[in-house]
Amino acid sequence: MKSVLVVAPHADDETLGCGGTILKLSEQGYQVHWLVVTGMTKEAGFSEAQIAKRQEEMLKVAQCYNFTSVHELMLPPAKLDVLAKGDVIGPIAQVVSQVKPEIVFTPYRNDAHSDHEIVYDAVMSATKSFRYPFVKRVLAYETMSETDFGLKPESSGFKATTYVDISAFLDEKLNILEIFESEVGEFPFPRSRLALESLARVRGVQCNSEAAEAFMLIKEII
């Protein structure tokens, strides 16, 4: 059975970027694994109530997606750039070695959030073909509120090269997003139901479907 690894810097990135694709792959019989790089801890300044709430949300989300496995690295959010690179690459590589995914989804490198850049670079190191020959495709997803605000002068921006039709899964994706209550707001807040639906409709127009998710194909081995 084919295996997929979805790497999320923070819980909710997977839903924002490829929630519909996850649902579609799961329905098609893929084993889909969820890797969340950062996590809420007291040391990172979160309260016990916040931590408990996030764990409850993640459990619900994992059940909705029917993930084969969930991996939490619990690294400090918004602080990955101060860690030694090996402290991020090593744990991600361990999960890759354990799961042996054929397909890996990662955040786009030039997002506004520094955690996304660090995670992207770590995933590139953890999917080198000579060490991880089972990885055949690596795709970068776009994350509302981060990809669209990634205005680095040296970046040419997110350029979609691959689309997945999620017309049959859009409503379910949007329902799952709302499980993350503290991360969702009312439009025009970018992490809102209407904003995510609008993006999906635009991506659908680009690939002749009712709704879609877009990716940059980073690597493909045929």
Q: What is the pLDDT of residues 97-115, one digit of tens each?
A: 999 999 999 999 999 999 9
Indicate the pLDDT class of residue 4, thresholds 50, 70 and 90. very high
Q: What is the mean pLDDT of the chain?
A: 96
Task: Determine the angle formed by the axes of helices 170-177 and 13-27, rounding to 10 degrees.
Answer: 140
C-alpha 88/C-alpha 13 separation (Å) is 17
**% of the chain exceeding 90 in pLDDT:** 93
- Could you tell me the pLDDT band of residue 153, with boundaries at 50, 70 and 90? confident
- Number of helices (H) and strands (E), helices first, in the chain? 6, 7
pLDDT at 16: 98
- pTM for the complete prediction? 0.96
Tokens of 189: 């807040």
C-alpha to C-alpha distance for 207 and 147, rounded to whole angstroms: 20
Which amino acid is present at 212?
Answer: A
Q: Per-residue confidence at 23, pLDDT binned at 50, 70, 90?
A: very high
Given pLDDT bands bounded at 50, 70 and 90, which one contains residue 155?
Answer: confident
pLDDT at 152: 83
Residue 184 has pLDDT above 80, yes or no: yes
Q: Which of 8, 15, 2 is nearest to 177 (CA)?
A: 15
Amino acid 150: pLDDT? 86
Spatial separation of the C-alpha atoms in residues 30 and 26, rounded to whole Å? 5
